[in-house]
Amino acid sequence: MNLFIDPKDTISFDVYVAVEDGIVYANADKKNLLKENDVLKEDQVVAFNFTFKKPSYKDNIEIMKRSGGLTSDGETIAFDASSVRYERFVSLLTDWTLVNSAGESLAATKANVDKLNPTLASVVLEKMEEVIS
C-alpha cells in the first residue's frame, strides 16, 4: 500500500467531442455523447486525451492559495469553487492532444486553457475530479 504521491504520477483520460451547427458537444463517454445528442453521427466524434499530474497534499494547498478561492473579510469566510477548479485545471494539466482548426497541435498551457470552449472545459474538469478523487 503506497500512501504517497510520486511527483511523476499522472492520470490520463479521453474526452469525446463533436461539433454540429457551431455547437460543441462533449462527454467523457462516447456512447453517452451519441445517445444524448441524436443529431450527432459517430464519424463526427473525435477523442482528445488529457493528462494531469496527480496532486499531493501540498499541491492542493498551493492550488487553494493561488486560486484565492478561500477569502475572509474578518467576519465571514467565502469559498469560490470556480476559482479553485480553474486553478486545479491549469496547475495540474501536463499534456493534451487538442488541435487548432488547422489540425496543428496546441500546447497544454494556461493561455490555451483560457480559450477552451466552456462545454469542453466543464467535461474535462468533471472527469479530472472524478479520477483524481
Strand order across the beta sheet in which 93-96 lies: 23-27, 10-20, 46-53, 93-96
pTM as predicted: 0.91
The answer to whether residue 2 is domain-embedded is: no
For residues 7 and 56, the answer to whether their CB atoms sit within 8 Å is yes
The answer to whether residue 1 is domain-embedded is: no
For residues 128 and 52, the answer to whether their CB atoms sit within 8 Å is yes
CA nearest 123: which of 50, 37, 31, 23? 50
The answer to whether residue 5 is domain-embedded is: no
Residue 106 sits in which domain range? 10-132
The answer to whether residue 33 is domain-embedded is: yes
Count of Cβ atoms closer than 10 Å to residue 93 Cβ:
19
- pLDDT tens-digit profile, the chain (133 residues): 889 999 999 999 999 999 999 999 999 999 999 999 999 999 999 999 999 999 999 999 999 888 886 677 777 777 788 988 999 999 999 999 999 989 999 999 999 999 999 999 999 999 999 998 7
Q: Whose grid coordinates read 500512501? A: 3
- What is the rounded CA–CA span in Å between residue 127 and residue 33? 14
Question: How many domains does the chain divide into?
Answer: 1
The answer to whether residue 4 is domain-embedded is: no
